[in-house]
Amino acid sequence: GHPRAWDDTIRPQIADCIISTIRCSESHVDSRANSFELFTADFMVDEIFNVWLTSIASMPWSSSCPAIPETCWPGILEDLVKVILDRRISKYADTGGFELVPYRRPFAGDFVRPSAPPSAHPNIDEEDD
């Protein structure tokens, strides 16, 4: 198959989707010191490795969001503590299965072009070049 598809194509698109989602929603979120919320994101990958964000859910531990198997929770919670506590002490601390996705605040005039052809996004007009 495609041995580098995950690292070269799929993973960067997932990171872009997460960053774009945060950018779109950050003005609607109240910032509170020393707090966080855990979300899950579901993706689909097509046959040419385009990544499609299908849903985002908060409170992934609730019974209404069975996306994460119960057997995974001990590891997730352990890694979450690493992110919340250990990373405050050292930016080089082990974060387990969590990964820091580089993020910058958007500048005025930023435009995020969809990765799919315009026909796949009927409500998004292609920017004139």
- Identity at 59, one-letter amino acid code: M
pTM exceeds 0.85: no
Q: pLDDT of the chain along its 129 residues, tens only?
A: 789 999 999 999 999 999 888 888 888 888 788 787 888 889 999 999 999 999 888 766 665 556 677 788 889 889 989 988 998 899 899 999 888 777 665 544 444 444 444 444 444 444 444
Structure tokens at 21: 């989602």
Q: Cα(9)–Cα(43) distance, rounded to whole angstroms?
A: 14
